[in-house]
Amino acid sequence: MDASDTFRDRSDTAQLESSGRSDSGRNGSRTSRAGRPAGRVDVGLENHAVTQQDNAVTQRRDDDGGAGANDSQTNGRLSGLLNELYGPIIGSLAKVEATLQSELQSPFEGVSALLRHGVQLGGKRLRPAIHLLMADALGGIGPNNIIIGAVLEMVHTATLVHDDVLDEASTRRHVPTINAQWNDHTSILLGDYLFAQSFRLAATLDSTRTCQWVGEAARLVCEGELRQVLARDDVEIDRDTYFDIIRGKTAELCRVACSLAAGEASRDADAIDQLADYGNCLGIAFQIADDFLDLWGDDQTVGKTVGTDLQQGKMTLPIIRLLETADPAARLEILGILKGPADDRMTRLGEWLEQSDAKEFTFRTASSFKDRALAALIDLPPSDAKNCLINIAEFSIQRSF
């Protein structure tokens, strides 16, 4: 089977309820998963990501003179998927959204318009969702978890706004980026605003743990981004360096989302580390899937401009694999393409990629991190929240957006 098929849209919830899925233990043993995934919930509690997607589609329909039937179908599938993945915590996630809305306001309408637009860019709300699901699986969701969820989403959105400047991206989640609709200066300042507001909100909690852990996570995210920027067009980047970079820039916020849930539940250091590994491996799996989609996805389905990694000179896993497995003559030609005009890279590398095992290798590697994420959940008792964490791990490598 072509690896690209595994990254096609799996938003049909029936595909996420396939029988026989199991937990992977740290010792490699398999135990059957108890219960079935949580079903759909009251659509009155559907999360803000779906609402914002619908709003963006409505705006596009208006701009395009009423076109948008396919968009409506896509958003219907997205709504069902998010209900399937987040079912037990939809109500709590709505409280996170309400917190974001109340915290991200300004008495100045120009700033408020930016904040309203920026909050649409977060998409799936993955980081607050896995924090809330982990908290639920560990015994329950409290007021602190709602605050932490909002803090995590603010930090994540700040990194996205800055990323879009670095990538010169024009769309994200089918919505114009801040830099496209306004300018780069506005994007940078909005990202700074979100970082500042996130730490102000974290400081309202009684414990300093959230400030300390999120602060360290934000540092590692920025460090990872800096390393990636400094490594642009460095064709000698190897796999170990690649994983170090994405562990910081992508996986760290997922890791701290889980560790904070375990910390709030008063788990010991070993349990915190084990559950944090779920977030770490999940984040890496998501990033590898993003690398895949940047080469073999399409703008409309992915929801952002594809091909930017190659244009920006980022060495992603498929390209690293292509270079690893090429013979000396082929490697020289591939390096010539990578060092040549940015706009030509996607087209000229296509044939080389198809002749290599880069697709299959990328999928296998993403799958291995997905399995490690599942293994980290082995000690959690059976629950709907645990089932959703399992489904999210599966979704990380089965998605098309």
Average pLDDT over residues 263-276: 97
Determine contact, residues 382/33, Cβ cutoff 8 Å: yes
The winner for highest mean pLDDT among 82-96, 97-111, 204-218 is 204-218
| Per-residue confidence (pLDDT) for residue 186, from 0 to 100 | 85
Judged against a pLDDT cut of 90, whether residue 216 lies above it is answered with: yes
DSSP string, 51-77: HHHHHHHHHHHHHTTS--HHHHHHHHH
Alpha carbon distance 24, 27 (integer Å): 8
Read off the pLDDT band of 122 (50, 70, 90): low
Long-range contacts of 163-168 (CB under 8 A, 24+ apart): 163/225, 164/121, 166/225, 166/229, 166/312, 167/305, 167/308, 167/312, 168/308, 168/312
pLDDT, tens only, 22-74: 333 333 333 333 333 333 222 222 333 334 334 433 333 333 343 344 445 54
Determine contact, residues 316/287, Cβ cutoff 8 Å: no
Judged against a pLDDT cut of 80, whether residue 360 lies above it is answered with: yes
Read off the pLDDT band of 226 (50, 70, 90): very high
Read off the pLDDT band of 305 (50, 70, 90): low
Read off the pLDDT band of 119 (50, 70, 90): confident
| Per-residue confidence (pLDDT) for residue 14, from 0 to 100 | 31
For residue 172, the cross-strand partners are 175, 304
Which of 320, 231, 329, 242 shows the shortest CA–CA distance to 287? 242
Read off the pLDDT band of 78 (50, 70, 90): low
Judged against a pLDDT cut of 90, whether residue 203 lies above it is answered with: yes
Read off the pLDDT band of 299 (50, 70, 90): low
Alpha carbon distance 141, 56 (integer Å): 31
Judged against a pLDDT cut of 60, whether residue 286 lies above it is answered with: yes
Other Cβ atoms within 10 Å of 245 Cβ, number = 22
Q: Which residue has the higher pLDDT, 335 or 17?
A: 335
Q: Which residue has the higher pLDDT, 18 or 90?
A: 90
- Average pLDDT of the chain? 80
- CATH number of the domain that residue 194 is part of: 1.10.600.10
Domain hosting 169: range is: 3-398
| Per-residue confidence (pLDDT) for residue 9, from 0 to 100 | 39
Determine contact, residues 390/23, Cβ cutoff 8 Å: yes
Judged against a pLDDT cut of 80, whether residue 309 lies above it is answered with: yes
| Per-residue confidence (pLDDT) for residue 296, from 0 to 100 | 84
- The lowest-confidence range among 82-96, 108-122, 270-284, 376-390 is 108-122
Task: Report the domain count for the chain.
Answer: 1
Read off the pLDDT band of 400 (50, 70, 90): low
pLDDT, tens only, 156-182: 999 988 888 887 777 776 788 888 888
| Per-residue confidence (pLDDT) for residue 68, from 0 to 100 | 44
Judged against a pLDDT cut of 70, whether residue 6 lies above it is answered with: no
